[in-house]
Structure 1
Amino acid sequence: MANLISLFNHKGGVSKTTTVFHLGWKFANLGKRVLIVDADPQCNLTGLTLGLDDYDSLVRFYDNKQNTDLFSSLAPEFSLEEKSNPPLNPTALTKTKNKNLFILAGNIRFSELDTQIATAMTSSNTLPVLRKFVGAFNSLIRKMAAEHNIDIVLVDMSPSVSSTNQCILMSSDYFVVPVSPDFYCYQAIDSLSNVLPKWAKDISQFKIDGDSPLPTDNPKMLGFITQNYRIYTTANSALPDNLDQPKQMSRAYSDWLDKIKEVSNRKLVPALQSASMMIDSEKFRLSVTHDAPYHLGGVQNFSGLIPVSQKLSKPIFELTKEDGNWSGARWMWEKNEKENGIKVNIEEADKVYQNLAKSILKMIDLDMK
């Protein structure tokens, strides 16, 4: 049975889409059959993965791949389409450039479902028929995963505290919180300490009887990923005796990371533990070498590589010298017998996502034993 992992933070701009794409690709490279789901009406994951970078290419995709996006597959459950015109194939997946990676495309109309889901969340006691709205996403994704032998489902969620996102998260087995080391994500972690346990409490009414439209257990947070920070090399790290010294996060970012760790350990983790929504700290320590609970990994700012990655629909760690037409000097140069340049950044990205993917897989494996 597939493990469903959602990436969520109601603070936008924390690279959820980029992380889903890169992490999904890395899971696929490790031999897993992976489905990435674009549950953000902005559809950035769909555009990135399939190379749909303008209006015409989007129109052609939706014309040629009718009823293979998230909204079209769910709409009949919400009676938003004529019953005489059922979806051609509600469980079809779209292939990507990686043979083990598939996508359920997004659709801007997906946001239209939120009103009905919100109504279902508040009317369940008087209108039991609306229960299916709450579990529609879970039922669809579990069905697709089973039919296509999917091992891991990664969901790119929108940055909002909506009823739709509540149902998506509570349909998950696990979730990860991407953050940027700044004041706004510090606030977001603080806020999630209240939002997520409340989501679990409010949705528990749908798990009372044996006909629950959602998983019995609450999803567990695996940890948070730090994104988009800049690094520097200390003066001493350029010396021959310190060639293996890792590059450091700049002071402004490291200060905010410390604050995020503090509020996470003081508020978010205890709140989630009380709601049975937290992976065990010992399982984290046995799986993750990057940092103490619950800092899963750090992804530095690879801004110069992102446009090339997006243009080619390839993850950063798959880029070659020819992909960016990089000159020899930009591609790789040496100082004090140490390699520098774009080649080194690509290798660093590969190492980061490889470690992140392996850590998550090991943690889930331990949790399931």
Structure 2
Amino acid sequence: MKTIALFSHYGRIGSTTLLYHLAWMYAELGVRVLAVDLDPQAHLSSMLLDPDDLEAIWLTTARHQTTWGAIAPVFQQRAPLAEPAIHSITEHLGLLVGDVAWAEIEGQLASGAAQSPTAEDAALRLALALRQLLHDAAAQHEAQLILLDVGSNTGILNRVLLSVAEALLLPLAPNLAAWQALPYLGATLQRWQPVWQHWSAAHSPALLPATPLQPLGYVVMHHAVRLDQPLHAADRWLAAIPAAYRAALCPEAAPAMSADVADDPLCLALLKPYRSLMDIAKEARKPMFLLKPADGALGNHGLAVHACYRDFRGLAQRIAAGSVAIN
């Protein structure tokens, strides 16, 4: 069982949409996958669950069925970890529902950050509880792969949440803002590593990964070029990604032999925006690559559905290479 976090310092890239489609693709390929919503905005849960079902969880006593609801008793030191409530999306795809309460926990951790070691004890307690929740949920679902969706910031909460993942998949956009965010992300992860290693070494047997968040590579979310953003500008930032990614996250990796991301072994995919399919998919409440003519995917849209399926299948296979068996 491998735990992969999809995380980006720079927001508005589409990390949650990417995770949503990857989770569905792995399920299509026969992989038992668990999607875990740890973003305070809970967009992943909104995409995977019917609005009425999500409302029933959030607005009733079923709140204990969320990621935070299961962990809260341990974090607050009042009860053992609750049994994970996995919501079955398909036979192979399960969801641990998100909770907007994570935003409040961010504030609690941040307000006590200067009160070390008390704050560190609380952060470690949260990390251990989350890792145990994932372990229990994976056993219950017989998961081969866990995908974590976290918010796009480098606050203290994400330092905790990311400590439970073995690997990092980084979505990137070919623009100046995303390029500028890379060095800050790399420096932040380097600053967090000693804390994570101390947490892991402090417990035997270790619940937390000894070397968390090993870079898997990056996915370029190739957004459509706008009229106010000339093509050469997008191409320039696209060409800057291979070297910038290595400098920030993989300084030990071999230098990029080309500025073309298509030739970079660390680039796992260059995804098209598929904007027209996205609108249809939102209406149909299903992944873009599973749209049917009855959903409105006719003519060129139907051809785009097949291309989208190939893109995500290839990406899923490259991510899983060597660690997850795919039919």
For the aligned pair, the TM-score class normalised by the smaller chain equals: 0.7 to 0.9
Contact 1:173 1:219 survives alignment (8 Å): yes
Contact 2:45 2:54 survives alignment (8 Å): no
Note the C-alpha offset of 1:298: 1.2
Q: Which residue of 1 aligns with 2:273?
A: 301
* CA–CA distance in structure 2, aligned partners of residues 117 and 137 of structure 1: 15
| Paired AA for residue 227 in structure 1 | M
- 1:254 paired with 2:248, answer no
Contact 1:181 1:256 survives alignment (8 Å): yes
Q: Which residue of 2 aligns with 1:60?
A: 56
Q: Which residue of 2 aligns with 1:236?
A: none
| Distance verdict in 2 for CA 1:252–1:127, change over 3 Å | closer
SS at match of 2:170: strand
Note the C-alpha offset of 1:204: 2.6
Contact 1:40 1:157 survives alignment (8 Å): yes
Instruction: Name which one, 1 or 2, has greater alpha-carbon Rg.
Output: 1
| Paired AA for residue 175 in structure 1 | L
* CA–CA distance in structure 2, aligned partners of residues 181 and 228 of structure 1: 7
SS at match of 1:31: coil
* CA–CA distance in structure 1, aligned partners of residues 100 and 324 of structure 2: 35
SS at match of 1:190: helix
Give aligned-pair identity as a percent: 25
Q: Gapped runs of 5+ residues in structure 1?
A: 232-249, 274-279, 282-288, 333-340
Give TM-score scaled by structure 2 length: 0.86
Q: Which residue of 1 aligns with 2:224?
A: 230
| Paired AA for residue 344 in structure 1 | L
What do the CA deviations read for 1:211-230 (whole angstroms, capped 9, x no partner)?
A: 45522223211111011423
Note the C-alpha offset of 1:153: 0.5
- 1:315 paired with 2:287, answer yes
SS at match of 1:131: helix
Q: Which residue of 1 aligns with 2:186?
A: 193
Note the C-alpha offset of 1:13: 0.7
What do the CA deviations read for 1:214-262 (whole angstroms, capped 9, x no partner)?
A: 222232111110114238xxxxxxxxxxxxxxxxxx5432221111222
What do the CA deviations read for 1:286-323 (whole angstroms, capped 9, x no partner)?
A: xxx95423111011111111122123221100001110
| Distance verdict in 2 for CA 1:260–1:206, change over 3 Å | same
Of 134, 141, 148, the residue aligned with 1:148 is 141
Q: Which residue of 1 aligns with 2:105?
A: 113
Q: Gapped runs of 5+ residues in structure 2?
A: 226-230, 255-260
| Distance verdict in 2 for CA 1:292–1:129, change over 3 Å | closer
Report how many aligned residue pairs link the two structures: 314
* CA–CA distance in structure 2, aligned partners of residues 186 and 126 of structure 1: 33
Contact 1:206 1:213 survives alignment (8 Å): no
Contact 1:51 1:310 survives alignment (8 Å): no
* CA–CA distance in structure 2, aligned partners of residues 154 and 132 of structure 1: 21
Note the C-alpha offset of 1:64: 7.5
Contact 1:7 1:175 survives alignment (8 Å): yes
SS at match of 2:183: helix
Q: Which residue of 1 aligns with 2:29?
A: 30
Once the two structures are overlaid, the 10-residue window that deviates more, 25-34 or 123-132, is 123-132
Note the C-alpha offset of 1:167: 1.8
| Distance verdict in 2 for CA 1:206–1:51, change over 3 Å | same
What do the CA deviations read for 1:8-58 (whole angstroms, capped 9, x no partner)?
A: 002111111111110011111111111101111111111111132xxx664
Once the two structures are overlaid, the 10-residue window that deviates more, 123-132 or 259-268, is 123-132
| Distance verdict in 2 for CA 1:346–1:150, change over 3 Å | same
Note the C-alpha offset of 1:130: 6.3
* CA–CA distance in structure 2, aligned partners of residues 121 and 90 of structure 1: 33
* CA–CA distance in structure 1, aligned partners of residues 49 and 36 of structure 2: 13
| Distance verdict in 2 for CA 1:268–1:219, change over 3 Å | closer
* CA–CA distance in structure 1, aligned partners of residues 123 and 10 of structure 2: 30
| Distance verdict in 2 for CA 1:125–1:43, change over 3 Å | closer
SS at match of 1:67: helix
Note the C-alpha offset of 1:120: 7.3
Note the C-alpha offset of 1:103: 0.6
* CA–CA distance in structure 2, aligned partners of residues 194 and 217 of structure 1: 16
Give TM-score scaled by structure 1 length: 0.77
| Distance verdict in 2 for CA 1:25–1:126, change over 3 Å | closer
SS at match of 2:131: helix
| Paired AA for residue 312 in structure 2 | Y
Once the two structures are overlaid, the 10-residue window that deviates more, 160-169 or 118-127, is 118-127
Q: Which residue of 1 aligns with 2:212?
A: 218
Q: Which residue of 1 aligns with 2:258?
A: none
Q: Which residue of 2 aligns with 1:3?
A: 2
What do the CA deviations read for 1:157-203 (whole angstroms, capped 9, x no partner)?
A: 10111222112222111110101110111011121121111111233
- 1:100 paired with 2:100, answer no
